[in-house]
Structure 1
Amino acid sequence: MARPLAGLRVVDLTQVLSGPFCTMLLADLGADVIKVEPPDGDVARRWGPFVDGGEAEGSYGGYFASTNRNKRSVVLDLKAEEGRAALLDLLGTADVLVENFRVGVMERLGLAYEDLHARFPRLVYASIRGFGDPRTGESPYVDRPAFDIIAQAVGGLIGITGLDADTPVKVGPGVGDTFPAALSAVGILAAVRHAEATGEGQMVDVGMYDGVLALCERIVYQHAITGQSPRPQGNTHPLLCPYGLVRTADGFVAVAAPSDHHWRLLAEIMGAPELGSDARYATNAARLSRAAEVYRLVEGWSVTRTTAQVVEALAGRIPCGPVNSAADIAADPHVAARQMIVEVDHPGGTPVRVIGSAIKLTGTPAETFTRAPLLGEHTAEVMAAVTAAAGATRADEEEEQRRGTTDHHRDDVRPR
């Protein structure tokens, strides 16, 4: 069954996480993603953990395996003229180019957006940088490098995460990379559709700072309306109550009962229906003003029960969920039913379990995943096809020129 992005070719110059996650999303949907790597490969190939506890020669760790599935690897040295020429030949067969270099790198390689756009007008050129590309708005921080933790910090995420205002905390997963990557994938598909309709490609630019700020959208209107900057406040919510974590006899459960209707239901389930109509807690505003009391009331009930018992009592009526570990998730029937953990082959011999696709399509589901490629595994295969395609194109152009000359000659001799 053809995948929805079958026929779309993406040349992927990215490394580490933000770019590879973006192109993984496209590859999962059927795009032909050609990962172009330098001779020593994407640095993430050397990041663990490693299958069977060791780093096999030419293999790669779990970090690389997770976000580079469904891709093909080509090795080109873009610092050499021959490598750049090969890349240009490859781009002649492509629809999309994605890179996450620092500002100025592509220009120094002679591969600036303007030059590529002039040569390949339909090409969609996507960049993911810490502070965006100057072409769409020059940040005063444009020359600064960035990683996930930097984006989380400057974009406001760390500033509202933590136990209290004095102890800000980094969010566990690399959302400073992955959320901008997801936004970039959306932008790429929008630009591809535009190119298909008009024949005109364009640049898609996502700054990691911008992406994290978009993720933290509520801090903007809170500050604009109240004049105050939201701060970390632990596992509760500044605008909704109760909406946070409560202790159980053996762990924690997330409970969300911010509407007055949900609060009355929760009070009933806790065996204290009178709390539902008590003026001190009857409205969200009232509960917010007494948030510490509200959470004490809820925990007075929840700590006498296990996590499973709390979830069983609330599920179906009150939004809730256990605070799962990775082991809990691996054993969760929801994850199995939704195919959110999949097994892929690995050069080390033992298959690796990686995250599945969260994008579910009824007509063209993502059912199979190929392992991440070895370094340069597909260089000969891809470049041979590119050379053949370039030869066929040149032959077509020569034939068109020949026919044009013949037709012109015939025009000259046609009787008037």
Structure 2
Amino acid sequence: MGALSDLRVLDLTQVLAGPYCTMLLADMGADVVKIERPGGDLMRSKQPFTEEDDPYGGYFQSVNRGKRSVELDFGDESDRADFLRLVEKADVVVENYRAGTMERFDLEYERLRERNPELIYASIRGFGDPRTGETDRQGRPAFDLIAQALGGVMEITGHPDGPPTKVGPGIGDLFAAVLHGMGILGALHHRERTGEGQYVDTAMYDSMVSMCERTVYQHSYTSDVPGREGNAHPTLFPYDAFEAWDGYLVVAAFSDGHWQSLCEAMNRPELVEEYPTGDDRLEDRERLRAEIESWMADKTMKTVLDKLDGLVPCAPVQDVSDVFADPHIHDRDMLVSVEQPGSDETVTIAGTPIKMTETPPEPGTRAPLLDEHHESVLREWNR
């Protein structure tokens, strides 16, 4: 039994932020029913595929596992009535439409609350909802790239002589999704104590500002506008990526003790005396970076890691094939095999990083086919 196995969630979301949030709830046991518009989630048709006629690709599979699918047309009176009956039995409704979309169908929070006063209604949008703070950006479309650009992520990512760069993973979606899940659980805890439902609202833009908390306090304290520093850290050194003979690795030796261990491994004890404090090292970081790079240049990553292991925080820079080969990842069940409909193959998706001793989350089954559970959901939820 999962920690949320008594929870019923109507998931009206698509693409990435909303589906990732509801996937986390499904992993913890919630009955997540994906309410899809005619034709289904836009991401069903996105590659990669195992076969040309796959009913959905890896994008959809990765963040919709463990859910059930019901296709409804909110423009159809009968389908709206079916949805409202499901709302009466739901604990949570999650949607990530533009602000005002649900109002067009007369299915906004206030209408749904009339049918179910204890309902948690949770919207995840680019710029939030007017109910929690009205702005002139609401109603505009937003994706990960927009959120990263506006929130300041791109301006501090990349090398100083290069252009603003987005972070590889879709953190504008994913971080907002995790925060949204936390908000939903907080609202459920409040309802448990009071019987009161409420509206939960998470904006992708807001989430990126929260993620860039360092730039906020830096600007407040110093009036500086932080820029791109590559893999370096603005206030710590060494905290960077360095090139060995056969690849890159990272070293985080900014404490005095770690710095001493690094200098001993390099056979450069005089650097400990010359740069005894973090501020000393930060002030002369370019010279010290060159010293570290020179020491590593003719050594393999394994040689460097063996010298530093257990003494200095360090790690190789891995690609995904390295991740697949890492025993730690398998020991932690972070790679999960699921069925790919229409194929004899199984595919691998990322497991859940949330570990619990009494109610361990389970990645669940494959993502659903479109409308696969229409009859069973309407029958079970309307008993």
* Same fold (TM > 0.5): yes
Q: How does 1:217-296 map to 2 (within 5 A)?
A: 217-278=213-274, 281-296=275-290
- The residue number in structure 2 matching 1:408 is none
- The residue number in structure 2 matching 1:313 is 307
Distance in 2 of aligned mates of 1:188 and 1:225:
33
**For the Cα contact (< 8 Å) 2:127–2:205, is it kept in 1?**
yes
Question: How large is the Cα RMSD of the aligned pairs?
Answer: 1.1
**For the Cα contact (< 8 Å) 1:55–1:61, is it kept in 2?**
no
Question: What is the Cα deviation at residue 349 of structure 1?
Answer: 2.5
Distance in 2 of aligned mates of 1:191 and 1:199:
10
Range with bigger deviation, 260-269 or 216-225: 260-269
Distance in 2 of aligned mates of 1:339 and 1:237:
32
Distance in 2 of aligned mates of 1:179 and 1:358:
14
Question: What is the Cα deviation at residue 165 of structure 1?
Answer: 5.8
**For the Cα contact (< 8 Å) 2:65–2:363, is it kept in 1?**
no
Q: Deviations over 1:300-348 (max 9, x none)?
A: 1112211222222212111111111000000001101111111111102
Range with bigger deviation, 314-323 or 202-211: 314-323
1:155 to 144, 151, 154: 151
Q: Deviations over 1:56-100 (max 9, x none)?
A: 3xx100000000001000111112111111110111111000000
One-letter code aligned to 2:205: Y
SS of the equivalent of 2:137 reads coil
- The residue number in structure 2 matching 1:68 is 64
Distance in 1 of aligned mates of 2:199 and 2:85:
20
One-letter code aligned to 2:36: E
- The residue number in structure 1 matching 2:347 is 352
- The residue number in structure 1 matching 2:317 is 323
- The residue number in structure 2 matching 1:131 is 127
- The residue number in structure 1 matching 2:53 is 55
- The alignment's TM-score, normalised by the length of structure 2, stands at 0.98
- The residue number in structure 2 matching 1:8 is 7
**For the Cα contact (< 8 Å) 1:158–1:170, is it kept in 2?**
yes
One-letter code aligned to 1:308: K
Distance in 2 of aligned mates of 1:237 and 1:96:
40
- The residue number in structure 2 matching 1:115 is 111
**For the Cα contact (< 8 Å) 2:7–2:30, is it kept in 1?**
yes
**For the Cα contact (< 8 Å) 1:264–1:277, is it kept in 2?**
no
Which consecutive unaligned segments of at least 5 residues does structure 1 have? 390-416
Q: How does 1:337-348 map to 2 (within 5 A)?
A: 337-347=331-341, 348=343
Q: Deviations over 1:122-161 (max 9, x none)?
A: 0000000001111111122112110001001101111100
Q: Deviations over 1:263-292 (max 9, x none)?
A: 1111011111111111xx221111111111
1:351–1:320 CA distance, 2 compared to 1 (3 A): same
One-letter code aligned to 2:86: L
- The residue number in structure 1 matching 2:190 is 194
Distance in 2 of aligned mates of 1:362 and 1:167:
45
Distance in 2 of aligned mates of 1:46 and 1:231:
38
Matched, 1:179 2:168: no
- The alignment's TM-score, normalised by the length of structure 1, stands at 0.90
One-letter code aligned to 2:133: G
- The residue number in structure 2 matching 1:93 is 89
SS of the equivalent of 2:348 reads strand
SS of the equivalent of 1:364 reads coil
- The residue number in structure 2 matching 1:395 is none
Q: Deviations over 1:41-63 (max 9, x none)?
A: 001000110014x233xx10000
Distance in 2 of aligned mates of 1:309 and 1:125:
54
**For the Cα contact (< 8 Å) 1:152–1:158, is it kept in 2?**
yes
Count of paired positions: 382
**For the Cα contact (< 8 Å) 2:43–2:59, is it kept in 1?**
yes
One-letter code aligned to 1:361: M
Distance in 2 of aligned mates of 1:300 and 1:201:
61
Question: What is the Cα deviation at residue 367 of structure 1?
Answer: 4.4
1:103 to 67, 81, 99: 99
**For the Cα contact (< 8 Å) 2:84–2:115, is it kept in 1?**
no
- The residue number in structure 2 matching 1:27 is 26
Range with bigger deviation, 304-313 or 331-340: 304-313
Question: What is the Cα deviation at residue 196 of structure 1?
Answer: 1.7
Which consecutive unaligned segments of at least 5 residues does structure 2 have? none
Matched, 1:380 2:375: yes
Q: Deviations over 1:334-380 (max 9, x none)?
A: 10111111111110221110000000111122345200000000001
**For the Cα contact (< 8 Å) 2:352–2:362, is it kept in 1?**
no
The structure with the larger Rg is 1
SS of the equivalent of 1:51 reads coil
SS of the equivalent of 2:379 reads helix
One-letter code aligned to 1:146: A
Point out which structure has higher relative CO (alpha carbons under 8 A, 6+ apart): 2
- The residue number in structure 2 matching 1:302 is 296
Distance in 1 of aligned mates of 2:240 and 2:335:
27
Distance in 2 of aligned mates of 1:165 and 1:22:
36
**For the Cα contact (< 8 Å) 2:351–2:363, is it kept in 1?**
no
**For the Cα contact (< 8 Å) 2:29–2:362, is it kept in 1?**
no
- The residue number in structure 1 matching 2:330 is 336
Runs of 4+ in 1 over 4 A off after TM superposition: none
One-letter code aligned to 1:295: R
Distance in 1 of aligned mates of 2:73 and 2:306:
58
Q: Deviations over 1:165-195 (max 9, x none)?
A: 6511111010000000000000000101111
Question: What is the Cα deviation at residue 120 of structure 1?
Answer: 1.0
